[in-house]
Structure 1
Amino acid sequence: MDTSPPAARPGGVVGILAFAGIVAALTQTLVVPLIAELPKLFDTSASNASWVITATLLAAAVSTPVAGRLGDMYGKRRMLLVSLAPLVLGSAVCALASSVGPMIAGRGLQGLGMGVVPLGISLLRDVVPAERLGPSIAVMSASMGVGGALGLPVAAAIAENTSWRVLFWVVAALALAVGALILALVPGDRPATVSGGFDLPGAIGLGSALVCLLLAVSKGADWGWGSATTLSLFAAVLVLLPAWARWELRLSHPLVDLRVAARPQVLMTNAASVLVGFAMYAQSLVVPQLLQLPEATGYGLGRSMLAMGLWMAPAGLMMMAMSPVGAKLSAAKGPKVTLAVGSLLVAAGYGLSVPLIGSGSPWSLLLVTLVCNAGVGFAYGAMPALIMSAVPPSETASANSFNALMRSIGTSFAAAVIGVVLARMTTDFGGFPLASESGFRAAMLIGCAVGLAAAVVAALIPVRGTPAAARGADTSGPAATGPSAEEPEASGARA
């Protein structure tokens, strides 16, 4: 394994890893401008075409914790490069697809590469000086917002002016460029200290439970929440998750160390991450619709897909702009405070939206997204810092990947809940049902409530250890990584 020393220029390393995060986020938003066109492009039903999005979601959920564990075992840099391979291959498959089946398969392959963000954040712990770690984590976390911000307008512009296949070739080229930069300029991480083999049964068990859960959540509205299929999937989750947990607790080297995950700081941070993921995604579902709905509705703004993407872009860039501010707050007060402040900002953005919906001005919606994403920028930089200050170095990638999974579960539930609200609260427009203005207000109020709940959970996170460890200023030393005096057995031998 490559054990070369940390790079002399950590800023360049952070920039490369942030670029990797931007490409990953760009991949996720890539198909948004194509959603309405997919049934026509591939001569299929809208239901079948929706699997183009669902496949990526499921593949990412299953592969992210696996990639994290393998990163701890064999090296985070190595697994970063491995994760880029299906991203490149999947993009090529999508670009060449002539029917919906290969397109779904390609999107699934792209989903396998989504572990690059938590792996990149975890690698920072090994290759960036301790005093630069907090700001570096914030920048890397914010890269997801930048990728999402650029994805919509760029994808819409390409789709409107050239072949949609170009979108996927561009992503393939960018992923190859990321791989080349990592190979040339990013040093190897510390030698792996994880012993034992890979927990394949644990990976299969967790993957099966996640597939059942996310399928039920993402497809429940289409299949019917009371349908036999949806209820059977939820029932399977209730059986699989406890069985998986019992298996993990029996192992000395599990896929996910549940004893570490049960530490109050880790557990509460993951709980807050679910809520932040929900709150972050809810406005991403509402604002684009308001921008694109016809002006004749009285609350829609009648913008094109490209214009919508351009109005949404500054919000993603706001995440990057706020990342150094959040890092300074974490250094001064601790990432727990930064997470709570970020959650409150998200709630404030939603609160602003309630009187501004129906104002007839895109500037009001821009204000809402700027405030919300400023809060998301704070929160996304604080969560990895809290996780890494509470786990040993040998479990950094696994713990960060599990935290990323928690955020993904939050976004999935946001899509389901907001989708139900908007589907139930409709108005008739020319014989077609559209989500009503009251429905959008209700959705934003839900986002506000979830943001407030995230702030409460963040405030209750019991941060332990030295001040430096708690603030993420130095998460590499024994004070930051060892078990507390009250938890001597947490990372030791297991029954």
Structure 2
Amino acid sequence: MISSPANAPAPQDAPQDAAVELPGARRPRAAILITTLLLGVLSFQLNASMVTPALPQIGAHFGADAGAVAQVQSMFFLAGAISGPIMGRWSDFIGRRRALLLVLGVMALGTVLCLAAPSLTLLVIGRFLQGVSSAIFALAYIVLRENLDARAFGTSVGIIAAVNGGVAGFDGYAGGLMTEAFGFQSIFLVVLGLAAIAAVCIIRIVPGGRAANTGGGSMDWWGAAFLSVFLVCLSYFVSTGSSAGWTSVPALALLAGTVAAFIAFCAAEKRRSSPLIAVHHLRSRQVWTVIATTVLTLAGIFAIMNFTVVLLSQDGKNGFGLGASLSALLFLTPAALIGVFAAPLAGWLTGRVGWIRTLRIGTALSLACAVAAAFFADNQWAVLAAVAALGIFYNGFFLTSINGLSVLLSPKEAPGSLPGINGASFGTGASLGVVLVAPFAGLGTQGGYAVALWISVGITAAALLVSLLVPAPDADAAA
């Protein structure tokens, strides 16, 4: 499908907030644009998934324990949570293409540092720089919205969302093979090469110019700084509270920092003519409901798929007694593989039944899968079926619709704000869900696993209730 030229009259279902482009510029063909953005998204995703099986070798290489090596991943995802809101909003002023190239450039710098790192400390710094590329997801969704018509946008969001959990589960396996054969550095070489190819394609394919409706303002760096402090304090509060206790001195200090940073952020936003996101927008249904739905759904479903079921499947006494590799093959790979096909289907469906209905179908049926897993927690094949079905309804329907809605419901004067903040909400929700169920699943008893699963059910039910409050975007009228 080819979208209309930028200087031609817009069709009825064309996006209304297209980027400002040079006279005579034409939008790229949909397939070429999607492929280009997929290359950028994969450069981040492979950084996240292929490194996981290499963590033991990284620890042995630097003589570090598991706690120290954990920072290789935690700092990567923390940087992603910070960069999403900042780069999404900054791209409103510097243009989507420049923002994409900037995050790829920072990632490339971090990758080179990881390749040459003589110590674990420098490797962790490199991983932090690599994590900035998480903003590519939000930027990709915005670019698609500004350059494709309504129906093509839905399908394209599904295609991008399909790799949100990895390349059908095989990227982690490939990372393990490369680590064994060539060492963990080989993973960074692959990522660096892919980022270079993505950058060349972005330069040639992604339109330049900046977003419309910014009113000639400038980037709100004070708001960005306070929001970053808030996200850092919140992240460390969750991790510290779960390990040292919620009433421990470090946890309370981080909680105080979290609250203070949020108050400072709100105060700064009220004074800015072009804020990161206006406070009145944070209070509006079109913003807070999207963020809350994301946080709650991730807290409920992520904890089931990536924590409780993993422990349950490998527990030889009160679980299914599977090995690590067989557990991953049965309980992680099917959902990821199914999601690769379900996400584009969900994107296509949004053009027929609407974004809101697709979101509620995905959330409601994800809740049904969670209930089934909790009811039949002692039955390996029932849990397997429930988790595999989440590949359709969570990886496919929910992730596609919530990412699309974050773009469609973002404030007109700040089109990059909600996608970025919503992207940061994924990590927050995932961390919160694991923290809430860990004390029970960690008991290693049948009762403990059951309680952990029912806690996730309750959180997902809350997500469904909040999703009922998400307003319908204008695109649903056409559907």
Q: TM-score scaled to structure 1, two decimals?
A: 0.84
Partner of 1:270: 291
Change (3 A) 1:356 1:176: farther
Partner of 2:453: 444
Superposed CA deviations along residues 386-431 of structure 1, whole A, max 9, x for unmatched, are: 23333355422222111111222111212322333333x2xxxxxx
Alignment of 1:301-312 (within 5 A): 301-305=321-325, 308-309=328-329, 312=332
Question: Aligned equivalents of 2:434 and 2:99: distance in 1?
Answer: 30
Change (3 A) 1:190 1:129: farther
Query: In the TM superposition, what is the alpha-carbon distance from 1:176 to its structure 2 partner?
Result: 1.8
1:286 aligns with 2:286: no
Query: In the TM superposition, what is the alpha-carbon distance from 1:191 to its structure 2 partner?
Result: 4.9
Query: In the TM superposition, what is the alpha-carbon distance from 1:8 to its structure 2 partner?
Result: 4.4
Contact 1:340 1:459 in 2 (8 A): yes
Change (3 A) 1:106 1:304: same
Change (3 A) 1:277 1:392: same
Partner of 1:215: 236
Query: In the TM superposition, what is the alpha-carbon distance from 1:54 to its structure 2 partner?
Result: 1.9
Question: Aligned equivalents of 1:175 and 1:338: distance in 2?
Answer: 33
DSSP 3-state at the match of 1:113: helix
Partner of 2:5: none
Superposed CA deviations along residues 3-39 of structure 1, whole A, max 9, x for unmatched, are: 4744342122112223322332222223322344544
Across the aligned residues of Structure 1 and Structure 2, the Cα RMSD in angstroms comes to 2.5
Query: In the TM superposition, what is the alpha-carbon distance from 1:472 to its structure 2 partner?
Result: 7.7
Contact 1:19 1:143 in 2 (8 A): no
Alignment of 1:55-454 (within 5 A): 55-147=75-167, 149-188=169-208, 191-194=211-214, 195-282=216-303, 283-291=305-313, 293=314, 296-305=316-325, 308-309=328-329, 312-359=332-379, 361=380, 364-376=382-394, 377-423=396-442, 425=443, 435-454=444-463
Query: In the TM superposition, what is the alpha-carbon distance from 1:256 to its structure 2 partner?
Result: 1.9
Q: Which amino acid aligns with 2:226?
A: G
Query: In the TM superposition, what is the alpha-carbon distance from 1:125 to its structure 2 partner?
Result: 1.3
DSSP 3-state at the match of 2:164: helix
Superposed CA deviations along residues 299-324 of structure 1, whole A, max 9, x for unmatched, are: 24433448725752231132231223
Q: Which amino acid aligns with 1:403?
A: N
Change (3 A) 1:236 1:298: closer
Superposed CA deviations along residues 324-352 of structure 1, whole A, max 9, x for unmatched, are: 33234422332122111111222222222
Which shows bigger deviation, 171-180 or 18-27? Answer: 18-27
Percent of paired sites with the same residue = 26
Question: Aligned equivalents of 1:405 and 1:52: distance in 2?
Answer: 19
Change (3 A) 1:180 1:127: same
Contact 1:339 1:379 in 2 (8 A): yes
Query: In the TM superposition, what is the alpha-carbon distance from 1:369 to its structure 2 partner?
Result: 2.4
Superposed CA deviations along residues 105-155 of structure 1, whole A, max 9, x for unmatched, are: 111111111100000001111121233112222222222124473332222
Change (3 A) 1:94 1:413: same
Contact 1:29 1:148 in 2 (8 A): no
Change (3 A) 1:472 1:158: farther
Where structure 2 has 5 or more consecutive residues not aligned to the other structure, the ranges are: 1-19
DSSP 3-state at the match of 2:414: helix
Question: Aligned equivalents of 2:72 and 2:237: distance in 1?
Answer: 16
Question: Aligned equivalents of 1:444 and 1:219: distance in 2?
Answer: 23
Contact 1:153 1:307 in 2 (8 A): no
Change (3 A) 1:285 1:322: same
Question: Aligned equivalents of 2:337 and 2:424: distance in 1?
Answer: 23
Query: In the TM superposition, what is the alpha-carbon distance from 1:459 to its structure 2 partner?
Result: 1.5
Change (3 A) 1:273 1:148: farther
DSSP 3-state at the match of 1:302: coil
Superposed CA deviations along residues 261-307 of structure 1, whole A, max 9, x for unmatched, are: 3321222122111112223421212333344x26x425244334487
Contact 1:266 1:386 in 2 (8 A): no
Contact 2:410 2:419 in 1 (8 A): no
DSSP 3-state at the match of 1:396: coil
Which shows bigger deviation, 101-110 or 300-309? Answer: 300-309
Query: In the TM superposition, what is the alpha-carbon distance from 1:186 to its structure 2 partner?
Result: 2.9
Change (3 A) 1:207 1:8: closer
Contact 1:343 1:375 in 2 (8 A): yes
Q: Which amino acid aligns with 1:369?
A: V
Q: TM-score scaled to structure 2, two decimals?
A: 0.87
Which shows bigger deviation, 139-148 or 394-403? Answer: 139-148
Query: In the TM superposition, what is the alpha-carbon distance from 1:245 to its structure 2 partner?
Result: 0.5
Q: Which amino acid aligns with 2:201?
A: L
Which shows bigger deviation, 114-123 or 4-13? Answer: 4-13
Aligned pairs, number = 456
Question: Aligned equivalents of 1:46 and 1:124: distance in 2?
Answer: 40
Change (3 A) 1:471 1:286: farther
Which shows bigger deviation, 453-462 or 203-212? Answer: 453-462
